[in-house]
Copies of this chain bind each other. A is one copy, B any other.
Amino acid sequence: MIETSLIGFSRGEETGSFFHAVNPVTRENLDARYGCSSESEVERACELAHSAAQPLASLPGSEKAKFLRSVADRIDAAVEELVSNMTLETALPEARVRGETGRTSGQLRMFAKLLDEGSWVDARIDRAIPDREPLPKPDLRAMLRPVGPVAVFCASNFPLAFSVAGGDTASALAAGCPVIVKAHHAHPGTALIVGKLMVEAVREHGLPEGTFSLIFGGGRTIGQAIVKNPRLKAVGFTGSRKGGRALFDLASNRAEPIPVFAEMSSINPLFLMPELEEERMEEIAQGLFTSATMGVGQFCTNPGIVFYPNNEIGAVFRSSFVEKMKTFGSASMLHKGICDSYISGITQLSKQVGVEELFQSEVHHDGSSVVGTCVLNTDVESFLSNPALSDEVFGPATLLVSFSNTDELLKVAQGMEGQLTASLFGTEESLSKNENILDILETKVGRILFNQFPTGVEVCPSIIHGGPYPATTDSRSTSVGTGAILRFARPVCYQGFPDDLLPFELRDRNPLKINRTES
């Protein structure tokens, strides 16, 4: 049997082209086959989404909230099915699948809460002043409205939380946008489970058929067809720099360019200030080890580079960290592509001038995607003279970079590309003395941490999971937290409208009791 795409309420045709999911540990095909959609099916999904856009845009926030909660409940209820499928497809451990299931339903409920509260629409009201001189002031009211159909590309490293019903989809639906999801080839079974739940919820809530579609497709053609379709108005993506940039270029070159919110690559530097106490080195090395190996290093916020002082405490940190990394053993990465990139990444990196290999696991990965850790070492001079040392290596590898003084750190920060995060470790005094580095980092990253590790992204209103290019293609956005909804909304102003014809959010007596800017 071949499982095909979900095009609204119907299933895709069998086109003769299909693919298997693969067990990354054994590299054997799993049983189920997934049929690739044709371009005409993509076209149909886009037309359905277009037809759904207006009805969805007209839904009150409370109705969208009910729908999101019902999706969340269904996902929670499907956890056992998710565990059995997703562990096979991704080699992620059961605990991770359970955790990510909770994170995914939690995100949906967070947006439901945001919608119930309602103030996110940034309602602004300027009342008329008919007798103003020299000209009367008209009545003007503005609020955020949905941008229209959104394409979401599933992330390889978060089969649930950044995939079918993940943050991009949840925030787009919350904004009132229909969503077309392109499944990731590495976990189509997981995608289908969640996609079917989504369709069930769409039906049960009487939402229009085009509210949601899930597309299977091999290669790049189908993803490109989605982004090029004129019905689509925005794109959410989490993945590689190359992939994100390709979609961005495609979307920017359309007759009508559309925004692409691609979260792409980040080496998430850690800076250990020279004044750190020696007794903290053990704790920092342990924290870094946990952070760098969590999920086999396959997190966007994995700390790939650590700047440490070229002094005694630095040496303590380095040897302690290397010892811990040696204890990791081995684990399977998510799929062959990621594994191959990891192996070639550490091979390239270790060859660079001035880079010394402190540890490389001897795990034999031929015929599977099982890998071990890697720790490389260099100094700031080599680092600054060779841009290749700033390339992201996705996986459990860490590059340690020793520095001699904080001026060198400033140079590093100034020359750094955009990042999701940067983490400073030190005393409050050392940070006060070096506020310059804070000022620079602020222009380079979406989130700055003090004495904390960047993995384990908290889902809440204040989180920013974003940053200047190449961390993302839009530094003004976040893909995690309530702020993610703002990517899929645009302001509309109503001038001179009778109260009855205004959206409830803008009516005179504020029937929804939301926060508004009134002047």
Q: Chain A: residues with CB nearer than 8 A to chain B?
A: 53-54, 57-58, 124-126, 135, 137-138, 140-142, 145, 147-148, 248-249, 252-253, 256-257, 259, 418, 428, 431-432, 435, 438-440, 442-443, 445-452, 456, 458, 460-464, 466, 468-470, 473-476, 478, 483, 486, 489-498, 500-501, 515, 517, 519
Contacts and interface: CB of A to CB of B under 8 A. Distances in A.
A252 B57 CA distance: 30
Nearest to A473: B257
Nearest to A519: B461
A476 B148 CA distance: 12
Contact of A495 (B439, B447, B474, B500): B447
25 contacts: A54-B440, A58-B439, A124-B483, A137-B458, A141-B462, A142-B461, A147-B475, A252-B252, A252-B253, A256-B468, A256-B469, A259-B476, A428-B500, A428-B501, A442-B492, A445-B492, A446-B493, A447-B492, A447-B493, A447-B495, A449-B496, A451-B496, A464-B493, A476-B491, A478-B491
Contacts of A140: 458, 460, 462-463
Nearest to A255: B469
A495 B268 CA distance: 14
B443 A148 contact: yes
Contact of A462 (B469, B493, B515): B493
A474 B259 contact: yes
Contacts of A460: 126, 137, 140, 519
B452 A495 contact: yes
A142 to B, nearest CB: 4
Nearest to A492: B442
Contacts of A476: 147, 259, 486, 489-491
Contacts of A475: 147, 490
Contacts of A515: 515
A228 to B, nearest CB: 15
A495 B257 contact: no
B439 A57 contact: yes
Closest 9 CB pairs of A and B: A464-B493, A252-B252, A140-B462, A124-B462, A447-B493, A126-B462, A452-B496, A449-B495, A142-B462
Contacts of A490: 446, 466, 468, 475-476
A94 B484 CA distance: 47
Nearest to A497: B450
Contact of A442 (B57, B449, B452, B464): B57
Contacts of A439: 54, 57-58
Given A460-B126, A463-B493, A501-B450, A145 B442 contact: yes
Contacts of A474: 259
Nearest to A443: B148
Contacts of A248: 252, 257
A489 B249 CA distance: 23
Nearest to A113: B519
Contacts of A418: 256
Nearest to A478: B491
Given A57-B443, A126-B463, A451-B496, 13 more contacts: A58-B439, A137-B460, A138-B458, A145-B442, A428-B498, A431-B498, A435-B501, A448-B492, A452-B496, A461-B517, A462-B519, A476-B489, A483-B491
A57 B496 CA distance: 38
Contact of A135 (B142, B456, B469): B456
B442 A501 contact: no
Contacts of A451: 496
A487 to B, nearest CB: 8
A240 to B, nearest CB: 16
